[in-house]
Amino acid sequence: MLQVLEPIFEPTFHSSSHGFRPARGAHTAIAEAKEYVGDGYGVVVDIDLSKFFDRVHHQRLLSRLGQKVADSRILKLIGRMLKAKVVMPDGTRVCTDEGTPQGGPLSPLLSNVVLDEFDKELARRGLRFVRYADDCNIFVRSERAGQRVMGSIRKFLQRRLRLLVNEEKSKVARPDEIHFLGFRLRKTKERTKVAVHVSNRTKERMDARIRELTPRRIVRPMALPQPCPQAFPSRWAAGEAGAAVSRTKSAAPGTAALSLEWRFSAVGADRPPGRPSWALV
């Protein structure tokens, strides 16, 4: 089904939609957001849709599909898929009157079909935006403009698309205060470039994962993954640690990289005096 529908709808999607599309992803979304911030759009309207996949209106979705799909058999099949009963953990089967099933290959395409109407409305208003699935950032020049856009977009989503905005997660703020796809944007001191930083939320998750993988006290030596050069196990271990720290420093300079460096040193690869634990020996 996806192989039939994707070539029909993919060319019609807006270029600022990056989620679940060929040759697009988080990296292209962040790159476009950087351009807007660099052009002077220093206020972000961060819109998060509340339980989007559970609130998709079936009739509106089938109507959008019917505008480009003439075969009624395909529409009926999708309709039956949308209304298929959901099996709960206790074995109970529940009917669904709205929403799209998550986890299937067709669900991401259907979500983009629904939100394409939202994209076209933003473009019609001349707004600069980046959308990844149900997470959308709109870039404006002032907080006053951001509040005005937030109010009008909220009404459009509720009245036209019958979707609700998550008020707790949606806000108008500076780019460095917005968590977007795990990152935040900030202009450099020279105000000529835009730097990409790991968001606080992502950093907390990274720290928690590092603590989980590398306990503070090592009871027994950590087993080295296989294969490794038998003649130089300490060099191999130190090299692997160094590569991990280097990648972390480039993506998240500061506390996360230092924490990773310290914990690798606790694991204990032998090294010459004066050399850091993560350096190649």
For the stretch 104-153, pLDDT in tens is: 788 899 999 999 999 999 999 999 999 999 999 999 999 999 999 999 99
What stretches of 127-254 show up as alpha helix (H) in DSSP? 143-159, 200-213, 233-251
Q: Which among 8-12, 228-232, 246-250 has the top mean pLDDT?
A: 8-12
Q: pTM to 2 decimals?
A: 0.73
List Cα–Cα distances, 91 to 88, 94, 102, in angstroms: 5, 10, 18
* CA dihedral over 227, 231, 235, 238, signed as positive or negative: positive
Predicted pLDDT of residue 97: 75
From CA 60, how far away is CA 98, in angstroms rounded?
10
List Cα–Cα distances, 152 to 41, 144, 145, 268, in angstroms: 19, 13, 11, 58
Average pLDDT estimate for 171-183: 92
